[in-house]
Amino acid sequence: MPTFQRHVFVCVNERPADHPKGCCKQKGGEQVRDALKKKLGERGIKSEVRANNAGCLDQCEQGVTVVVYPEQVWYGHVTVADLDELIDTHIVGGEVVERLLLPDQPHLEGRRSFGRLRLPVVS
């Protein structure tokens, strides 16, 4: 069984092209997911972190929406260009990326720090 220290879900939901909310697929969700998976692989942290696509996370206006568990930190308007910072700062570093954070996340209780990723010691 996997034990992921962080599990990152990227919305790739598709709505009809004329839907007023838009959708994460149209806004690049699949590209973000694919690039995130690739970058996690390149950094050799795929055993510690998994990226998955998810169905609609109900934040279509804020798409591309990404949620990081177990801390349930919600990010919006994420692009491929944001991923290195998201990985370095949050996924590895454990610190929230303030500029991408969606507003109103009372469950975080103001917390912005969740602990660095623990990596195996290479001898």
Site of interaction with a second copy (CB under 8 A) = 1-4, 7, 9, 33, 50, 52-59, 67, 69-72, 74, 102-107
**55/79 with CB nearer a second copy:** 55
CB 27 within 8 A of CB 42: no
**88/115 with CB nearer a second copy:** 115
CB of 54 to a second copy, least distance (A): 5
**34/95 with CB nearer a second copy:** 34
C-alpha pair distances (Å), 99 with each of 15, 20, 22: 27, 25, 22
Residue bearing tokens 């598709």: 14
How many residues are given for the chain?
123
**71/95 with CB nearer a second copy:** 71
Which amino acid, residue 62? Q
**Six token digits for residue 14:** 């598709």
CB of 95 to a second copy, least distance (A): 18
CB of 52 to a second copy, least distance (A): 5
CB of 57 to a second copy, least distance (A): 7
- The DSSP-derived string for 40-64 is HHHTT-TTTEEEEEES--S-GGGPS
